Structures are given as C-alpha cells and as structure tokens.
Structure 1
C-alpha cells in the first residue's frame, strides 16, 4: 500500500435489533447505505467496500455502483464484519482500514481522511478514533452519547456512557451547567485500524467493562492496548438509530 493510502469498509447489517432493515431505509429517495457510501467515496480512500450479510442490501448496493463483500450473519459487531473482509481480501497487516458505520449518512469525508492520517502517523499504534468537544449539559448526561477522556498525548483513558470526567466539587454544587476549563469530549464512532491489529482484537473475548457499558472499544483498553483520540475539526452530522432520526438527517442533508 502506498504512503497515505487507506481503505474503507462499511458494515451494513439488515437485521439490526433497534431498527430492522436500516441500511435500506429511504432517505430522500435513496437507501441509507447509499448516502454513507457516497461519503466514503468523497474521501481519499483507495477502496470502499460495503460489508453485508443480506442479499437485499447487497443488491441495492450493487445497483448504485458499490463494491460489496458478503459476510457471515453470525457477527456480533461491525468490527467482526470488517475483520472478515480483511481476511477474505488478503489485506496486509499494516494496511489501514477505516470502519465507517453504515448508519452515518452525514459523516464529513474530511473526518474519514483525518482518522486514517492520524493512525498512519502513529508508529506502533493499532487503532485511532476521533472526539469532539461537548458544550451542552444535556449531551454530557445523555447515555446515548459516548464520552471519552484522554491522557496528555491523546490516548484514551476510558470511554463511558456516564458523564466523564466527573467534576466532584462543581457537580456537587450545581449540575445545571458545565464547569469551565474541563475537557468534556464526545466520542465519534469512526475508527481507523491497522488490519493486523483488528484481526487480533476480534479474537479476544468480550471484556467485563465492555459488557457493562455496551462499548466494544473498552475491550482494547482492557487488554492494555492503546487507542489514539484526535480532536475533530468539525462535528459530524446525525446518525440514524431510530425512525425519528430520519427526519433529522433529511433536514441536515437539505442544508448541505
């Protein structure tokens, strides 16, 4: 792989428990996964592959021109699906692969490039991701918004659905606003992996912290590995987790 080159895999599972058939949801006359694919195609990725376990999703993707990899329907996560694509295609251990979730139709292509470039610049690191500042109290206390705290070099210390860091004195007095000068960060669920590292990671059993928080990235920290977290220079648009999110995404796309 040439310097700076990377690949994108978009896991697109039809049988999502919260919103079955999500990749094929109509978003402005096109399936959701088509919008995600277009974001990846607008990045500098040298290859973009949609990984799915469903023939209906595969057919829809091929209709709009996407490259498709059929994967097992037994995978627990998108990471497992990406790892299967890596194995099937024989990608090298040092190849950089970005996992772009199939429900992110508003992900800026620049952030896809950014997370891949960040990992490429970090020798000996297996995974990189992004975060964005939290300035809203409701977002900090929302369990659907994942928070992250990092060390001085930008490596993740912990991810949580709870408000972290917890400012003991300020929150004891008042929880209606955010304390000043505290780096509250929202995790952006966009990952760049070295292919060899991802192959190892998916073979590890789920970690207790991962199960408790329902956050698979905690498996990496549990095993003593590092995740680099860079600060994104733009906020990603909304993803699609519920039927109500479709209207929000449509409004966002209309403004772009």
Structure 2
C-alpha cells in the first residue's frame, strides 16, 4: 500500500512559448487550471491533497479567488517536474509519500484514468514512477514523431520511450497492434522524484527530447498502466484551445 497518502500537483506556468498566459485561458468562464482541478476532484482526490504550482502572481491571485490551494514557485524551473519537486520541498512532504504530476493544460483528462493509475500504483509500489499508455489507433500515429511510444515488458515495466515507430514488427513493419501511446501523467515516489530532479539530462533524453528517459538512464523503474478509454490531447496551441473550447461549450 502507498505510505502517507498521495498528493497531486498541477503545474501552471504563465510563460508558455506557444501560448502565453495559457493557465488563465477560460473555458465556460473558468480558467484552464480550474477545470484540471475538477477532473482530479472527480477522481475522488480530496482538495486538501491538491496544489496548483505556479510562477505568476496573476495565476496565484485567480486560484485564491476560486479557493484552490496554490503555491508560488520559481520562474527558473526548466520543467513541470522541477516545479512539482519544488512544491514537495516547500511543503515538506515525506520521502515515503507519493505525488501525481497532472499537467495543467489537460482540462479533459479522464477522472477514471487518474483513479485507475492511483489503484495501479497501490498494487505495484515496487516501481519508482508509474505512468499511463493507450493503444495506438492508426498507422499515421505509429509513424508520427510527435506521438511518443512506450516499449513495455510483460511485467508492465517501461524499457524505453521513443518518438520512432516502436516496437517494430520486423516481419510486418506496418503492424502497430502492440504499439502504445504514452500519456504524460506520472505518479512519483517522492524519494524518486527528488533523485530524478537532482540528475543532469541524460544523452537519450537530449536526443529524443523525452524527460522520462533520464529516469530509465539512471535505473529508476517506471511502471506502466494500460488505459483503453479516450484521452483528449492537451492544450499546446491556440488551435488546441479552440478545439477543446468547442467540445466543452
């Protein structure tokens, strides 16, 4: 069983290069991070165990207006993972506890996915980190470099993550039936998160531009849960925002 409970951190950085002020974009008259928080609450996580992590006073002010727990973090964090780790250190969470990094730009992340990942982690606490994959649904996605694939053992442990088509069936190269699309939600043992954030970028991470390869390169184990439900793409661009807005309104 998980020791000392589980916390959720939702990074909400103001200065997105592709969509500045993204966390404050509104859907149904509420900012993006509010909707992400609602999905976490719908996964039966208590509000006392949720924290918005931001680097901007405007986001902090809005979170407080909405009565959401918020912590100010440094503008110098290079990733959402570093921001989560800063929250862990500010709030003094135990090394034996667990923290979920739920990306702040996914207002339609399924609560069922979060619930199932928590249960998976509870049953597989041998892993340092746990995450989620869904089936690849088309050959176009299989060869798309923007669709990250996870190569997973029969014991649900990640061997590798790649932008390339993988695993490749040598005898039938167009067969993608065993391919898995990685979804960027993670549960970390706090001790593993602290180790991860203390490490430099690995060579594989630099090549693929995939942060999780730093963990694998340094013998941190990643457990992988399969999820068969629909998972909408997060909001990276204005086009993504307008698409999600149309779906939600």
Same structural fold, with TM-score higher than 0.5 when normalized by the shorter chain: yes
The one of 206, 209, 224 equivalent to 1:214 is 209
The answer as to 2:175 corresponding to 1:179 is yes
Report the CA distance between 1:17 and its aligned residue. Answer: 1.6
Residue by residue, what CA displacement relative to the aligned partner does 1:67-104 show, whole Å, maximum 9, x if unpaired? 00000111111111111111111111121111000111
CA distance in 2, matches of 1:208, 1:170: 30
CA distance in 2, matches of 1:49, 1:220: 24
Does the CA-based 8 Å contact 1:4-1:120 persist in structure 2?
Answer: no
Does the CA-based 8 Å contact 1:97-1:116 persist in structure 2?
Answer: no
Q: Which moved more, 1:162-171 or 1:192-201?
A: 162-171
Partner of 2:106: 104
Report the CA distance between 1:4 and its aligned residue. Answer: 8.7
TM-score of the two chains, using structure 1 as the length reference: 0.91
TM-score of the two chains, using structure 2 as the length reference: 0.93
Partner of 1:253: 248
Alignment of 1:1-256 (within 5 A): 5-46=5-46, 47-171=49-173, 178-179=174-175, 182-254=177-249
Unpaired segments ≥5 residues, structure 2: none
Root-mean-square deviation (CA), in Å?
A: 1.8
Unpaired segments ≥5 residues, structure 1: 172-177
Residue by residue, what CA displacement relative to the aligned partner does 1:8-33 show, whole Å, maximum 9, x if unpaired? 10001101122211111122322111
Partner of 1:174: none
- Which segments of structure 1 move beyond 6 Å, counting only runs of 4 or more? 1-4
SS in 1 for 2:161: strand
Does the CA-based 8 Å contact 2:3-2:97 persist in structure 1?
Answer: no
Does the CA-based 8 Å contact 1:96-1:116 persist in structure 2?
Answer: no
Does the CA-based 8 Å contact 1:155-1:228 persist in structure 2?
Answer: yes
Does the CA-based 8 Å contact 1:119-1:193 persist in structure 2?
Answer: no
Residue by residue, what CA displacement relative to the aligned partner does 1:94-124 show, whole Å, maximum 9, x if unpaired? 2111100011110011211222222222233
